[in-house]
Structure 1
Amino acid sequence: MNPYVLMILLSSLGLGTTLTFASSHWLLAWMGLEINTLAITPLMAQHHHPRAVEATTKYFLTQATAAAMILFASTTNAWITGEWSINDMSSPAANTMFMAALALKIGLAPMHFWMPEVLQGLDLLTGLILSTWQKLAPFALIVQTAQTIDPLLLTMLGITSTLVGGWGGLNQTQLRKILAYSSIAHMGWMIIVVQYAPQLTLIALGTYIVMTSAAFLTLKMSLTTKVSTLATTWSKNPVLASTTALVLLSLEGFPPLTGFLPKWMILQELTKQDLPIIATAMALAALIGLYFYLRLCYAMTLTISPNTTNSTTPWRVQTTQTSIPLALSTVAALGLLPMTPTILMLAT
């Protein structure tokens, strides 16, 4: 892709997210979400592969449906209340439509069906943008309006997403689909606590972005997209394979890695709100996801490829990939747990 076109598209992504962050008017927020969608669509279809074009079409139709629902919900709310302000959401029907639209945008279950299929058709860098940056603007709107949305709806969305994200990744052989179901599960953890402690949702979103960035950049560095090729990773680059296994465990929330931080605090907050049954259900749903992460770690570090590796080992060829973002995100994904008191102090 032409560097100038790429610069315009990435700038538009930043502009759309910033516009949604800064807006207090529904039309401006909707406009920012639309700029985001239109900016990432050429990035998704840049390789002109049939699967990429199919994924782009699915994504565009899904996001267009969600945008139409947001516009309809905001118009309904303005018709009832006479206000276009985001903070004035007094119509229960508009609130429900609005939450359903945002759940469709970020891939919350049961509106998650597009997420694995779309992510499977993209290259790893575009998939990274879709899994991280594209979640920011909808989450900004969810955090602003969480207090007016039915708590039962948010709780059911959270539990359903964690269960679907765990069960859906069990029998997958494609790493991008596994990361998509991981994203669905993490979205559930963020949604279930947003009504009680929005700062914990932001902490969980930040740690999720760091860990997912490390996972995607690692897969791009090792040129791996399937579970069956993970067995050759150890013979190519043992250090990268070791850190990748730790990053996957951090994604699941395995102590003492960074991913344990948000889940620990979310479970603590749920018990403070006198919801022990929901906290137990969330913890058990996390154990389901632990299985397929351990399966990936087993395939990567404890399995030797049955055949001789024909590919050139990475340390014998000059790589053109930048390793600094991978190194920074990996260190952050593995070692931020001791920073918990500082993070909590900044959050409160």
Structure 2
Amino acid sequence: MSPTIYIIIVSSLATGTIITMTSHHWLMAWIGLEMNTLSIIPIISTMHHPRSTEAATKYFLTQAAASAMILFSSTVNAWQTGTWDITQMTTTPSHILLTAALAMKLGLAPMHFWLPEVLQGSTLTTSLIIVTWQKLAPMSLIFLTINSLSTTVLMTMGLLSSIVGGWGGLNQTQTRKIMAYSSIAHLGWMATVSSIMTSIMIMNLVIYLILTTAMFLTLAQTKSKTIQDATMTWTSSPTMTCVMMMLLLSLGGLPPLTGFLPKWLILKELTAQSLTTVAAIMAMSALLSLFFYLRLAYSTTLTLTPSTTQTKLKWRLKPNTSAFFLSPLSTASILLLPLAPLMLQ
């Protein structure tokens, strides 16, 4: 793909998200989502490989169906109430359709099946865009319509997503699929707390974006597509290997790392709302996710695979890609817990 076309596609991708985030009319929000979807399709299918074509097709069909459901729900609402305002979603059928459509857009369980498959057929950079930037528009719609969405449905989907995200990642060996199930689990935590306190949901989203971006940049830097590839990370950069272990533990939500902050505040808020059972199930599901993070950390950092003399000297060679953003993002992913008092005010 030529640089000019690539710049046009990426700018269209950004514009679509910004249009959705700043719109008050349902048609404008829908146009932004469609621009977003149509821009990411060429980026997914740049590899000219059957897997990438399959991923692009699956992504297009899922997102087109979700966009059609959003348009249908807003049309039903406009028919009943006479307004296209995003915040005036008052009819019950529209609520149900909108919640299902946004869950499909995000990849919440039980409509999560497309996400691991699409990520597996994409490059690490494209996967990073799908699990970070592509979540902003649907999350902004959830934020704008949270007073209209069903609390019970959102909480059920959040619980299911956190369990499925943990359970599904247990038997994966591909790092992209592991990160896909990690994304599903994190989105489950956000969906659970969204109807209780939107400020914690936004804080969780920001921390999720920082953690996931740092992790994907590390995987791209070391070209780790499978767990077996990740075992040789130390030959490229011993420092990055240690940082990767800390990132994985932070993603798992262990104190005193950054990833502990959203889980801590969400569990605190759930128990404050007398949702102790939900909080207990969420905490137990976090153990499932922690297991496959620990497995990846163990095989990456805590074991050394048999290797030849040549591969041991790999760290002497300069890497091809720049790690400019990796340092600040990795630092933020590990050391942001002291900001907790600001969140608790």
TM-score range, shorter chain: over 0.9
Paired residue for 2:240? 240
Distance 1:268 1:344 in 2: 10
TM-score (normalizing by structure 2): 0.97
**How big is each residue's C-alpha offset from its partner over 1:54-103, in whole Å with a ceiling of 9 and x where there is no partner?**
10111011101111111111111111111111111111111110110110
Deviation at 1:309, TM superposition (A): 6.8
Per-residue deviation, 1:146: 1.4
**Counterpart for residue 205 of structure 1:** 205
Aligned residue number for residue 289 of structure 1: 289
Pairwise CA distance, 1:326: 1.0
Q: Counterpart amino acid of 2:259?
A: G
1:279 and 1:238 mapped to 2: Cα distance?
38
Over the residues paired in the alignment, what is the CA RMSD in angstroms? 1.3
1:325 equivalent in alignment to 2:340: no
2:342 maps to a residue whose letter is T
TM-superposed CA distance for 1:4, in Å, is: 1.2
TM-score (norm: length of structure 1): 0.96
Residue 328 of structure 1, CA deviation: 1.3
Identity between Structure 1 and Structure 2 (%): 50
SS at match of 1:137: helix
- Equivalent residues in 2 for 1:115-154, closer than 5 Å: 115-154=115-154
What aligned pairs does 1:42-53 form with structure 2 within 5 A after superposition? 42-53=42-53
Q: 1:92, 1:149 within 8 Å by CA — same for their partners in 2?
A: no
User: Equivalences for 1:241-320 in 2 at 5 Å?
Assistant: 241-308=241-308, 311=311, 313-320=313-320
Mapping for residues 1-348 of structure 1, pairs under 5 Å: 1-308=1-308, 311=311, 313-344=313-344
> Which shows bigger deviation, 226-235 or 293-302?
226-235
Structure 2 Cα separation of the partners of residues 266 and 190 of structure 1: 9
Aligned residues of 2:41 and 2:60 also touching (Cα < 8 A): yes
Deviations 1:129-170 (A, max 9, x none): 000000000000011111212211011001000000000000
* Contact 2:235-2:314 within 8 A present in 1 as well: no
Shift of 1:118: 0.3
1:232–1:309: 8 Å Cα contact kept in structure 2? no
Instruction: Return 300-309 or 262-271, whichever deviates more.
Output: 300-309
2:29 is matched by which residue type in structure 1? Answer: A
- Alpha-carbon distance between aligned partners in 2 of 1:286 and 1:99, rounded to the nearest angstrom: 24
In 2, Cα distance between equivalents of 1:73 and 1:272: 33
Q: How many residues align?
A: 345
Gaps of 5+ in 1: none
C-alpha separation between the residues in 1 aligned to 2:235 and 2:14?
Answer: 39
Q: Which amino acid counterpart does residue 103 of structure 2 have in structure 1? A: A
Q: Which runs of 5+ in 2 are unaligned?
A: none
Residue identity opposite 2:45 in structure 1: A
Matched residues in 1 for 2:65 and 2:41: separation? 15
Once the 2 structures are TM-superposed, how far is the Cα of residue 321 of structure 1 from its aligned partner? 1.1
* 1:326 partner letter: L
| Distance in 2 (alpha carbons) for counterparts of 1:96 and 1:20 | 20
Change (3 A) 1:311 1:35: farther
**d(CA) in 1 for partners of 2:164 and 2:310?**
38
Equivalent AA in structure 1 for residue 2 of structure 2: N
Give the partner amino acid of 1:108.
L
Cα shift at 1:311: 4.6
1:342, distance to aligned residue in structure 2 (A): 3.1
Tell me the secondary structure at the aligned position of residue 296 of structure 1. Answer: helix
- In 2, Cα distance between equivalents of 1:182 and 1:203: 17
Q: Against the structure 1 CA distance between its residues 285 and 309, is the aligned structure 2 distance closer, same or farther, given a 3 Å change threshold?
A: farther
CA contact (8 A) 2:110 2:161 kept: yes
Aligned to 2:147, the other structure's residue is in SS state helix
Partner Cα separation in structure 1 for residue 113 and residue 315 of structure 2: 40
Distance change (3 Å), C-alpha of 1:87 and 1:309: farther
Cα deviations across residues 251-304 of structure 1 (Å, max 9, x unaligned)? 111111100011111111111111111111100110111111110011011222
Alpha-carbon distance change, 220 to 342 in structure 1, aligned in 2, over 3 angstroms: same
Cα distance between partner residues in 1 of 2:208 and 2:318? 31
Q: Aligned to 1:324, what secondary structure does the other structure show?
A: coil
AA in 2 matched with 1:267: L
